[in-house]
Structure 1
Amino acid sequence: MDKKWKPGINHIEFWISNGENSLPFYEGLFEIIGWKKLNDWAYSTGSIEIYFKEVSHARKDTLGPRHICFQAESREVVDSVFHYLVRNNIKIIRGPIERNEYSEGYYTVDFYDPDGYVLEVAYTPNMVL
């Protein structure tokens, strides 16, 4: 039997404090890394969706994931993200940098989104899935 669905993440609901600040940032980022825009508040790879919800009651000190890492299809995509971040004065944590201790050829840039959430874009050609 051919399965339509396989185990994985279906979607991520991402809370943001201000759509006017965050949505243009994510639109530019997702255009570089190849996510398709579904509407003004949602994007998809075809197998996972991320959508944004503007909330005024979110606390930045709540427990949860440390960061989200988006897969890049090449080192050039990571470099393009880096240049996008620099052009938009986004605070970069590290990179672009190779982190061969993760896997051979692992190439990454880590940065903060407009609300201070940690994001990563990495090219991982030899990572075992």
Structure 2
Amino acid sequence: MSYQYGVGISHLEFWVKDLEESLAFYSRLFPLIGWHELTRTSFSCGVHEIYFKEVPVPLQDSLGVRHICFHAASRDVVDRVGAWLRSTGGTVIRGPQPMPQYNASYYTVDFRDPNGFVLEVAHTPDIRL
């Protein structure tokens, strides 16, 4: 695939405590939401890239984003992520559930990855970016 890059975020770097544990988690999550593997440690949706780097714990010199929300193509994708998380004993914070206080069509699941990062997968067909 070939993509035209424009203005926006190029990539996100995740600092993780255990690279292998993180790669095992994300290599199962990302195909559910339409992302693909670029290299052993990086993934892309075709526009953005996320890559992982193991760092010593505790690492106290960096504050980060509170959470990252990934677009889901449908409510079914959100439900499949929720089912996968439950089947693997993942830490679900909320959902899958509608969030009408955000938007009538907002449907989400919020959860933690193996490092404790808060992630969200949401179907938001009526949200304008």
Normalized against structure 1, the TM-score is what?
0.91
Q: How does 1:19-58 map to 2 (within 5 A)?
A: 19-58=19-58
3-state SS of the aligned residue for 1:92? strand
Shift of 1:57: 4.2
- Runs of 4+ deviating beyond 3 Å: none
Q: 5+ unaligned residues in a row in structure 2: which ranges? A: none
How many residues matched?
126
3-state SS of the aligned residue for 1:43? strand
Shift of 1:21: 1.2
Quick one: distance in 2 between partners of 1:60 and 1:112?
19
Quick one: distance in 2 between partners of 1:91 and 1:61?
26
- Calculate percent identity across the aligned residue pairs: 51
Quick one: distance in 1 between partners of 2:112 and 2:121?
11
Q: 5+ unaligned residues in a row in structure 1: which ranges? A: none
Shift of 1:6: 2.3
RMSD over equivalenced CA pairs, Å: 1.5
Normalized against structure 2, the TM-score is what?
0.91
Partner of 1:106: 106
Provide Cα deviations, 1:39-95, integer angstroms capped at 9, x if missing partner.
Answer: 110001111000001111453794221000011000000000001101111110000
